[in-house]
Amino acid sequence: MTRALPLFPFLVSCLAMPLIADEPPGNLPPDPFSNIRSESSAPGYPVAVDRGRGSFVVAATADQYQSSGHFSNWLLETELERPGSYLVGLRYRSSTKKMGIQIKAGDAAPLKGYAPRTVNGEESVFEMGVRHFAQKGKIPLQILAGDESNTELFRVSGVTFTPAPKLPFPGQEIDGSLTFDAANATTFSTNMHYEEQPNKQCLGFWTDADDWAEWTFSLEQTGDFDVFVSYGCNEANAGSEVMILLNDQSFEMKIEDTGGFQEWKRVSPGSISLSSRNENKLAVVPKTKTNKAVLDIRRIELIPKK
């Protein structure tokens, strides 16, 4: 006769066996994204900057409103203080699910979109897109909306203009270098702007020391970089000082005579270490202005140190 073995010691021995650390519970495979960490933003500038400079709002009032059939119009006008690129937005409040909107600024094709319901019917800004204006001066504005507009359900209060780059930053090169051309800059300014002429292609008309420029970028390859600035200035305006800001690091440069505002000189104010992949920022902020203008800037480069 075969005697049955007691079950309790068997269970104790099984429970005492060590678990395999790398084996997932049940039949689930290992999580392939378990080791991915979110990238933190880079630290901010060591000096204060005015991000509202160059922005403005064109108010839409009741006397500028017209209703015709299934559409409504606001016929507005504004005067640009400087040429440049702007992110155009609709300032409004809405209790409707969505509203078809067009904004025509100057001679360019209209910007189109569907403005969503705002939170609790409170005022908000719906960003429509970027428009570039080659000349300063008066431009006509037209807002076109559905026939439910200009009521308590949907009320327009104006059009916002916020500085924007003419061209997006193309990104880091395969060798790790970065080239920030003038056309990629956001110009927080009342006079300084991107000059498009082939012999210029620079940030010029820097006649106000409160005007400043910024580039934002991300990195595929972090590390140490040499900084190079290509600028121009004539003898009469030499001597101004500018700060080159890269996240929480900064360099100061005294502007020299390069032979003319479109005679470019490439100089290196120093080196920098970048460790954050996301939300990096580069800025040029004047510190002093000697005469009528600070300088013209064509590009800034970050070259990996060897």
* Residue 109 identity (one-letter amino acid): A
Q: Which class for 40: exposed (0-12), middle (13-18), buried (19 or more C-beta within 10 A)?
A: exposed
pLDDT tens digits along 81-130 = 999 999 999 999 999 889 999 999 999 899 999 999 999 889 999 999 99
Nearest Cα to 143, choosing from 103, 93, 99, 94? 103
Question: pTM for the full model?
Answer: 0.83
Residue 40 pLDDT: 62
How many C-beta neighbours within 10 Å does residue 156 have? 24
Nearest Cα to 58, choosing from 149, 152, 156? 156
Q: Residue 16 CA to chain centroid, in angstroms?
A: 59
Residue 149 pLDDT: 79
Residue 27 pLDDT: 55
Residue 32 pLDDT: 53
Residues of the chain with pLDDT under 70: 1-40, 69
Q: Which residues contact 133 (CB under 8 A, 6 or more apart)?
A: 80, 83, 84, 85, 86, 105, 106, 139
Residue 306 pLDDT: 85
Which domains are delineated in the chain? 56-164 (2.60.120.260), 178-304 (2.60.120.260)
Residue 19 pLDDT: 43
Nearest Cα to 262, choosing from 211, 199, 218? 199
- Evaluate whether 75 touches 52 at the Cβ level (below 8 Å): no
Residue 31 pLDDT: 54
Residue 10 pLDDT: 41
- Phi first, then psi: what are they for 66, rounded to 5°? -135, 140
Residue 147 pLDDT: 74
Residue 28 pLDDT: 52
**Distance between CA atoms of residues 187 and 213, nearest Å:** 5
